[in-house]
Amino acid sequence: MENVSEDTKAFLTTAKVYSGELDKVQIIDYYNTWDDYEKDLQPGRYNGPVFAAEAIDRSFPSHKDQVLILDVAAGTGFVGEELVKRNFKEIHALDPSASMLMKAKKKNVYKKFLYTYHCVVCSGGFGSGHIPSGALKEFIRITKPGGVVVVVMREEFLNIPEYGDNLETLMKQFQNEGLWMCIERSVVQKYFCEKTGVIFRYRVLHRHL
């Protein structure tokens, strides 16, 4: 029973930040003051970071220490921790919440600098009031040709009004324009609590600077 109510509390706390009721500044404030974030989104309940790291592992089976990775919406560094467990080392973090990034910094898993990357990963960054769809083109721009973009998100968030028709329509449009090519689209169970997630893995063909 203890677990059920903890799950419910975590689910409702998370529902608020993705509700569409908060503007961008309020969302960042929300993350800045979300002290129990790591408890609420602990592995087992929120599995986006594991799904994201496993997807990257599938794309880069060797020379992992040389793969330059940008973690977009890195938060407190859950994805970084999962990547380090899998022997990735060159990981940079990007997030608008200073307080989330401070927690990530303490983990000593990220290095900084701005680059073009072999891999850009985003776990849990897309949803109401979060990353706009236009960022996908930026992901392509900062990924080296031949590199990989991994997006892991709640499946139902593909269809929120601010993503217009559907976030996936834009992904397909970029494929039709020859910017990238889909190498994986998997639906996974228990992405967050009982919600399904979707894992996208795209190979970048042209950076379109």
Ligand X SMILES: C[S@@+](CC[C@H](N)C(=O)[O-])C[C@H]1O[C@@H](n2cnc3c(N)ncnc32)[C@H](O)[C@@H]1O
Name the site residues for ligand X (rule: CB under 6 A): 27-28, 31, 41, 48-49, 73-75, 78-79, 95-97, 100, 123-125, 130-131
Closer by beta carbon to ligand X, 59 or else 76: 76
To ligand X, the closest distance from the beta carbon of 176 in angstroms equals: 26
Closer by beta carbon to ligand X, 130 or else 201: 130
To ligand X, the closest distance from the beta carbon of 73 in angstroms equals: 3
Count of C-beta atoms within a 10 Å radius of residue 193: 14
Place of tokens 């419910």: 8
To ligand X, the closest distance from the beta carbon of 203 in angstroms equals: 22
Looking only at the bridges linking them, the beta strands covering 90-94 and 68-72 are parallel
Place of tokens 């689910």: 11
What phi and psi, each to the nearest 5 degrees, are found at residue 195? -80, 140
Place of tokens 């599995």: 47
Closer by beta carbon to ligand X, 74 or else 179: 74
Contact call for residues 53 and 201 (beta carbons, < 8 A): no
To ligand X, the closest distance from the beta carbon of 78 in angstroms equals: 4
Position closest to ligand X via CB: 75
